[in-house]
Chains A and B, each alone.
Chain A
């Protein structure tokens, strides 16, 4: 197990280093996030609906789209020069590969969310600061769940026809349940209600995370072995 984690960290570091050197993907996704937030501004009538009623949905739809874009990248990166075969031939288990990709994806999505959240607070005049720690917890819980499933699915979809289209189609049915719970928990937080009121949703998010991270960890080898 320590070896698995160490190898996973090496993979994650490799991905993050590649990204840090080029910065193309992270910049594109950050700009995309800003654009989605802008589009939402034109899709609502500020006099009819209070920002705080719409805010949780806007936040989570933006994160969904941004996460979807980043998830495709993880394995697309390895298609060039058949880098994936190289990784599989390396003396590391496929599960380390999965954990590494998951870690890199999580950090990637976390950066995007860290960019998106302040902009969201600014554009929609939502006071995020007073509830920042619990809100960050809700975001982390939801993100872990769908990034775990998304990383598993992207390993399959990148090697199919129309990969970019297939990943959202497969992932959204899995993404929407945690998304609904996250929206409800976020709504409770932003409306100034205590976190205990969202306890049920948080427990569901936790259960989802445990089930799907474990499942993806054990199923991943089946997506790569030939």
Chain B
């Protein structure tokens, strides 16, 4: 399958570039004054968080269009995006505590942002569980679409929680109404990392989409009927 092979190659490229991100972050980007080396995890944590949330929004958008167009490709994309989103949410939830231990002195705090990221992860888990629990493919697609749309509408409530609660989590410093408040070299590294994560998201989704296609017994004929 061409899609699967292309996805694999882009993944390999993404991992090579990810090594480049590490290299640039550790050797060519200044150390932050108050947080020291722990701040370096920001270059992984924030892009992963952005993609964990964006993936849910994309699941929701694909679901909206699926309910109107009934095109199984949209559903397959939603499934792929949800699985990849789960992985990115897991990255956020593991890199966060690694940073939290030296800076906050605790692995986990019941901070609004952490708690809601955990919900996002559980939302993905629920979505994937629902997909597994419905035997009939038609019903599975419709149910998954309904849950995906609800999940997308929950994301803003999750995202803006950081502005509403008193929280220990650092406030956004790049994606915020005013200009980014960090030195140019850090911003460059961060943008590099964001583009690598974008590449990895695309690559993972391509592979997962191709696998979803292979898993369906009569995928070819079904595509024609839809």
Q: Which residues of A contact B (CB under 8 A)?
A: 149, 152-153, 156-157, 159-162, 166, 169-170, 172-174, 176-177, 200, 204, 208, 211-212, 215-216, 219, 222-223, 225-226
Contacts and interface: CB of A to CB of B under 8 A. Distances in A.
A174 B56 CA distance: 14
B27 interface: no
B129 A215 contact: no
Contacts of A156: 130, 134, 143, 146-147
Interface stretch (B149-157, B175-183, B185-193, B211-219): B149-157
B164 interface: yes
Interface stretch (B16-24, B35-43, B118-126, B196-204): B118-126
Given A173-B119, A173-B123, A212 B150 contact: yes
A225 B122 CA distance: 28
B130 A176 contact: no
B145 A222 contact: yes
Nearest to A178: B157
Given A166-B133, A223-B142, 11 more contacts: A156-B134, A159-B134, A169-B122, A170-B129, A173-B119, A173-B122, A177-B119, A208-B157, A211-B153, A212-B153, A226-B138
Given A176-B119, A177-B154, A223 B133 contact: no
A222 B126 contact: no
B158 interface: yes
Q: Is the interface of B mostly helix, strand, loop or mixed?
A: helix
Nearest to A161: B133
Contacts of A204: 157, 164
B61 interface: no
Contact of B150 (A162, A166, A219): A219
A149 B150 contact: yes
- 3 tightest A-B CB contacts, nearest first: A160-B133, A170-B126, A156-B143
Contact of A223 (B123, B129, B143): B143
A161 B133 CA distance: 5
Contact of A219 (B119, B135, B149, B158): B149
Given A160-B133, A222-B67, A222-B142, A215 B126 contact: no
A174 B146 CA distance: 13
21 contacts: A152-B146, A156-B130, A156-B143, A156-B146, A156-B147, A160-B134, A166-B129, A166-B130, A169-B125, A170-B147, A173-B120, A174-B123, A174-B150, A174-B154, A176-B119, A177-B157, A215-B149, A219-B67, A222-B145, A222-B146, A226-B138
Contacts of B173: none
A173 B130 contact: no
A63 to B, nearest CB: 19
A219 B143 CA distance: 10
Nearest to A216: B150
Contacts of B147: 153, 156, 170
B134 to A, nearest CB: 5
B168 interface: no
Given A172-B122, A176-B119, A177-B158, A159 B153 contact: no
A17 B184 CA distance: 68
B130 A160 contact: yes
A153 B148 CA distance: 12
B73 to A, nearest CB: 18
A209 B2 CA distance: 46
Nearest to B66: A222
Contacts of A176: 119
A159 B135 CA distance: 10
A162 B135 CA distance: 12
A178 B123 CA distance: 15
